[in-house]
Amino acid sequence: MTSTTSAYLAVSQNLPRYQAMTAAEPAVKTATAYYEANIGSVTSIQDFVGNYRLLSYALDAYGLGDQINATALITKVLEGGVSNPNSLANTFSNSAWKAFATAFNFVGDGASSAASPNAVQTTTSDYVEQQLESDQGAQNVGVELALYFQRVAPTVTSEYGVLADPNLLEVAQTIFGLSPATSAENINTQAQTLSQLMPISDLQDPAKLKQLTERFTAMYDLTYGPGSGAATNLTIASSNSSSGQSGAAAVLAGVISSNGSALGSALEAFTGAPTQVFSTALLSSLQRFSLGG
């Protein structure tokens, strides 16, 4: 079975080819053609919000596809624009709203701005990228998360931006072995922990971002198994553990015991530690690990 790391590298190292393949998919090609042919006819916010196919395409391009029925909210976001720091788009913790409102800045730039060649190119490219990630996620969620992290992480300006994005947060927690239960901690405490483990400057350094992303894919496989399409192993294991060691730790410890050398070698490049040291330290940590506390 193909590992998450191998699958991710296959895509990331041949991204233009995968983007072209995704753009050529019949459904994607049809949706893009409709958008390109009709966005120029929009003359107002009401026109835009009232055209389901245009709005759906635009929302999907900015990762907001699940908001398609929130037309009242979308209208308020667009009417507020982005020039006022207190506008609705600027107050959302999800930065995707600001990106969306900036791309369709009817108030500040006029309705025709969304139909300019550069604007159309940006939106259609973003749409294809979103579809590419979704396609990969259907086969392996870890690959989708890795591609998302690679694309979005460099745009984050603070630890709070990571905490506000469930996908980025999941990647960070997986990389550093943080329990999802840490999300219940004080927000400032979480931000301080992230700043120590993953400084924002690292996300804007291509080399360090690459290292973090590949470390995530390796840890994802270690946690859920190579080529995992869904993160279910830990949930099942943790509910069936009868010892003091958590079920998650038991599963991972077993994996490492039988595959420690291979796993250690795979991660040695990311930790800088020899395989034996890595495996011993990780097993020791797992024995003390307990989900939720």
Amino acid 2: pLDDT: 84
- Cβ atoms 254, 231 nearer than 8 A: no
Amino acid 183: pLDDT: 86
Give me the residue spans of the domains in the chain.
4-134, 232-293
Half-sphere exposure of 259 (CA within 13 A, CB side): 13
Amino acid 227: pLDDT: 59
Amino acid 65: pLDDT: 95
Rounded Cα–Cα distance for residues 259 and 87 (Å): 53
Closest to 208 measured CA to CA, from 197, 192, 221: 197
Query: Which tens digit of pLDDT belongs to each residue from 22-57?
Result: 999 999 999 999 999 999 999 999 999 999 999 999
Alpha helices of 39-116 — where are they, by DSSP H? 45-50, 52-61, 71-80, 88-91, 96-103, 106-109
Amino acid 245: pLDDT: 35
The 3-state DSSP class for residue 130 equals helix
The 3-state DSSP class for residue 247 equals helix
What angle do the packed helices 166-176 and 206-224 form, to 10 degrees? 80
Query: Which tens digit of pLDDT belongs to each residue from 98-129?
Result: 999 999 999 999 989 999 999 999 999 999 99
Half-sphere exposure of 51 (CA within 13 A, CB side): 18
Single-letter code of the amino acid located at 109: D
Closest to 217 measured CA to CA, from 10, 7, 5: 5
Query: Which tens digit of pLDDT belongs to each residue from 197-213?
Result: 999 999 999 999 999 99
Half-sphere exposure of 177 (CA within 13 A, CB side): 12
Amino acid 229: pLDDT: 57
Rounded Cα–Cα distance for residues 4 and 216 (Å): 9
pTM of the full structure: 0.74
Fold of 4-134: AGR_C_984p-like (1.10.3700)
Residue ranges in the chain whose pLDDT is less than 70? 227-293
Contacts of 74 (CB under 8 A, 6+ apart): 49, 55, 59, 67
Amino acid 260: pLDDT: 43
Structure tokens at 115: 């139909």
